[in-house]
Amino acid sequence: MAGRRVFILDTTLRDGEQAAGVVFTPQEKQNIACLLDALGVDEIEAGIPIMGGPEKEAVRRIARLGLRARVVAWNRALAEDVRQSLECDVEAVVLSISVSDIQIRKKLRTTRPWVLDTMARAVEMAKGHGVYVSVSAEDASRADPAFLAEFARTARDAGADRLRFCDTVGLMHPFAVHEAVARLVGEVPGLPVEMHTHNDLGLATANALAGVMAGAACVDVTVGGLGERAGNAALEEVVMGLKYLLGCETGVDTRGLARLAEYVGAAAGRPVPAAKPVVGRAVFAHESGIHVDGVLKDPSTYEPFDPAEVGMVRRLVVGKHSGVAALVNCLERAGIEPDEDLMPEVLARTRQWANDLKRGLEDWELIRLYEQVRAERARAAVS
């Protein structure tokens, strides 16, 4: 796996905005597209042109920005959808259609042969206009493996460039994903696999990485994991996981991840949670005495990577679980040379304050407490 290049498709502007109640303005969409492009993602799924109105216009404007990233439009596997996307001057289209029997029968109310024929005709039409085509196998995780392979071969033979393997309702686990994707890669050579995973059981990132380990060439992500229901595989988690767990290359400049997450969170009305992996403000915050002591000696003792690598900063929090090392560090950063004899009392009061306030202390509060203890000792010495 080391050194292998994995492609990143960001679908924040499509699947991310499909999160219930989330709406991006046209300008926000352009801003997000530009931020993603600056980071170096390979593809940006900009929206759904068949919706018409502002949605179609936003896709068209993004496609005409001259971005380095390939701009993609999402479609059902229908001729009219494809026509609407072509009018937006996008370089690629996703053609989506259900492949699980539960969706074919209960949602589409049709048959497997109809799905194969409809998909093939849509692919041929799109390829006839010279665009890159990814065929999205919706609900692939619940599809019959034999039919999924037949679907993939039909897509390849019709001219598709890639197959999107969708864990649409987030019901797979990494071992099952690895088995399914490895089988598909082996049975249908010549058709790269793209992972599209949902987070209903908290496994979207793990499943995406499992797919890559099994041979998938591309991963779909959204900023912060924004998406329908519990969301999608998060851009920041996937990119850092690929780098540090699998040794893969993505071409993404990770230093902009935190800034991007903050912007998208604000635009979506869903601020970044404090404990959000990789980009949450609490991820590189340390309070426990043992942890702070280790981090001060060598940050790698309790941090998987340098926070600056993702645009974050390390914070040492003074609070209930702090030890002397954290207090000394805070005071020294404020230009105070702490008296070691005072520190046991300062630590005891720090813990009591934090317990009473139910939070960590601000730097100025610790300085005030230290000065208070020092003044009391001075008065006691005089008397």
Span 40-61, pLDDT tens digits = 999 999 999 999 999 999 999 9
Mean pLDDT of 242-269: 98
Span 201-251, pLDDT tens digits = 999 999 999 999 999 999 999 999 999 999 999 999 999 999 999 999 999
Question: How far is the C-alpha of 269 from the C-alpha of 23, rounded, in Å?
Answer: 9
- Structural tokens at position 113: 């042969």
SS3 43: strand
Residues in the chain: 383
Cα 129 to chain centroid, rounded: 32
- Structural tokens at position 204: 């979207």
Cut 0.85: pTM above it: yes
Domain 7-268 = CATH 3.40.140.10: no
- How, if at all, do strands 218-221 and 285-286 pair? unpaired
Question: How far is the C-alpha of 367 from the C-alpha of 372, rounded, in Å?
Answer: 8
- Residue 1 confidence (pLDDT): 78
Among the listed residues 150, 34, 80, the one whose alpha carbon sits nearest the alpha carbon of residue 135? 150
High-pLDDT (> 90) share of the chain, %: 99
- Residue 382 confidence (pLDDT): 87
Q: Are 36 and 44 in contact (CB under 8 A)?
A: yes
Span 59-92, pLDDT tens digits = 999 999 999 999 999 999 999 999 999 999 999 9
Mean pLDDT of 311-333: 94
Question: How far is the C-alpha of 52 from the C-alpha of 55, rounded, in Å?
Answer: 6
Exposed (0-12), middle (13-18) or buried (19+): which is 15, by Cβ within 10 Å? buried
Span 81-129, pLDDT tens digits = 999 999 999 999 999 999 999 999 999 999 999 999 999 999 999 999 9
The answer to whether residue 383 scores a pLDDT higher than 90 is no
Exposed (0-12), middle (13-18) or buried (19+): which is 286, by Cβ within 10 Å? buried
Q: Are 140 and 148 in contact (CB under 8 A)?
A: yes
- Structural tokens at position 81: 């959808």
Any bridge partners for residue 61, and if so which?
A: none
SS3 content of the chain, % helix, strand, coil (to 5): 50, 15, 35
- Residue 264 confidence (pLDDT): 98
Any bridge partners for residue 137, and if so which?
A: 97, 165
Where exactly are the structural domains of the chain?
A: 7-268, 285-382
**How open is the CA angle 62-76-237, to the nearest 5 degrees?**
60
Q: Mean of the per-residue pLDDT values for the chain?
A: 97
Span 344-370, pLDDT tens digits = 999 999 999 999 999 999 999 999 999
Exposure on the CB side of residue 79, measured as CA atoms within 13 A: 6
Other CB atoms within 10 A of residue 158 CB:
20
Q: Are 265 and 277 in contact (CB under 8 A)?
A: no
